[in-house]
Amino acid sequence: MNPNESSDLTAGKLVALRNLPDALKIITERLNVKQMGPADHIRTKHEVKAFIESAGDLKGAEAIIGRARVRRALQETHETTMKVAEDQRQGMRQ
């Protein structure tokens, strides 16, 4: 398996990736943690680290993937909301 593969991360792939030397870095990159807010980024990294250290199962992998998707979506919603609010403020000033 190519650790730089850009396809959607599945629970099976996450379980396979945890055995690689740089598993934490590879998995967090594949989960796109940089698209999350700072607290969620750190929280996800801690979850992945615990998963790797505990030799978690497919159910745990699915949970991590699901939470990462939700966290990215929340950040995207937050960014969109902030942009709309800023655009509205700019409109009121003109």
Residue 84 tokens read as 């709309």
In a 3-state reduction of DSSP, which class is residue 88? helix
> Per-residue pLDDT tens for 3-56?
434 348 899 999 999 889 999 999 999 999 998 988 999 999 999 999 999 988
Amino acid letter, 14? L
Neighbours of 10 (CB within 10 A): 13
Q: How far is CA 7 from CA 11, 24, 46, in A?
A: 13, 18, 23
pTM above threshold 0.95: no
> Per-residue pLDDT tens for 64-87?
999 999 999 999 999 999 999 888
- pLDDT for 15 equals 92
| Sequence-distant (≥ 6) Cβ neighbours of residue 16 within 8 angstroms | 1
